[in-house]
Amino acid sequence: MLIDSHCHLDRIDLTPYAQNFAQMMEQTRIAGVEHILCVAINLQNYPAMRTKIASSPDVSVSVGLHPNESPEHTITVDDLLKLATEDSKVVAIGETGLDNYRMPKNTDRQQERFRIHIQAAKTCSKPLIIHTRQAAQDTLRILKEEQAADVGGVFHCFTENWDIAKAVLDLGFLLSFSGIITFPKAHDLRAVVKKVPLDRLLIETDSPYLTPVPYRGKSNEPKFVAIVAEQVAKIQDISVTRLIDSTAENFFQVFRPILS
């Protein structure tokens, strides 16, 4: 089962399918993608996103506030728990984490919101979807301080070095890789992919962003997760079928989506 473990269907407005969600889903299914995890970036967009995917049993969702969202956006544990416990499609908390690249002056607020997400995840026993950029050490520190290993989860769109990768794996989290691994200059990242145990790995598009080669310059889509799968299989020197089967098994072990 080919799965896109991280995309943003609420940003379909950035794609050619802005007015035709059904067509995008049809193209995704034709490409062989059988399940999608649509990841929240804020709670304001959540109702519209949830309505859009209501009739799609092959789409799960998360709830959370992206670290790049404005510092004025507030969130509480109760905000997250209300959605996470009342909606059977919610399989994770996030995406959450720290981003010192885009929001370097907002570190205290980011860390506060990050801890809130972890507390909510532990309360409702759902895994975390972690975003980290130029903040890996602080991200790991907070996860340890808040005992986030109790729920685990995934570091999505992983781009760090092997030392950070090993620290993430040692903490019990999985690593997910996106179309970045197809970029010509991503030699170091491909070296990391090669070392990751197959049972600790996921694949994603992060669409509509990070379109893989050879479709750079176009908006990304969940169907392009097939390209990521092919590239990871090549790097790990295994068959694409084995890679797809293993990442699907990993996905279901972590997120436990309801398929009907």
pTM of the model: 0.95
Please give the residue that has the higher pLDDT: either 72 or 150.
Answer: 150
Q: What is the pLDDT of residue 97?
A: 97
Task: Say if residue 29's pLDDT is above 70.
Answer: yes
Cβ 152 vs Cβ 207: under 8 Å: no
Tens digit of each residue's pLDDT (9 = 90 or more) over 163-198: 999 999 999 999 999 999 999 999 999 999 999 999
Distances (CA, A) of 111 to 30, 99, 162: 41, 10, 24
Phi-psi category of residue 134: left, alpha or beta, with phi > 0 → left and psi -120 to 50 → alpha: left
Which string of b and e fits 98-110 if b means at least 16 CB within 10 Å?
bbbeebeebeebb
Q: Kindly state whether residue 24 falls inside one of the protein's structural domains.
A: yes
Tens digit of each residue's pLDDT (9 = 90 or more) over 124-170: 999 999 999 999 999 999 999 999 999 999 999 999 999 999 999 99
CATH number of the structural domain spanning residue 119: 3.20.20.140
Q: Kindly state whether residue 260 falls inside one of the protein's structural domains.
A: no
Cβ 152 vs Cβ 254: under 8 Å: yes
CA distance 24 to 16: 9
Question: Which residue range is the domain that position 76 belongs to?
Answer: 2-255
Task: Say if residue 200's pLDDT is above 70.
Answer: yes
Q: Kindly state whether residue 53 falls inside one of the protein's structural domains.
A: yes
Q: Kindly state whether residue 139 falls inside one of the protein's structural domains.
A: yes
Least confident of 7-11, 15-19, 69-73, 86-90: 15-19
Task: Say if residue 45's pLDDT is above 90.
Answer: no
Q: Kindly state whether residue 147 falls inside one of the protein's structural domains.
A: yes
Number of domains in the chain: 1
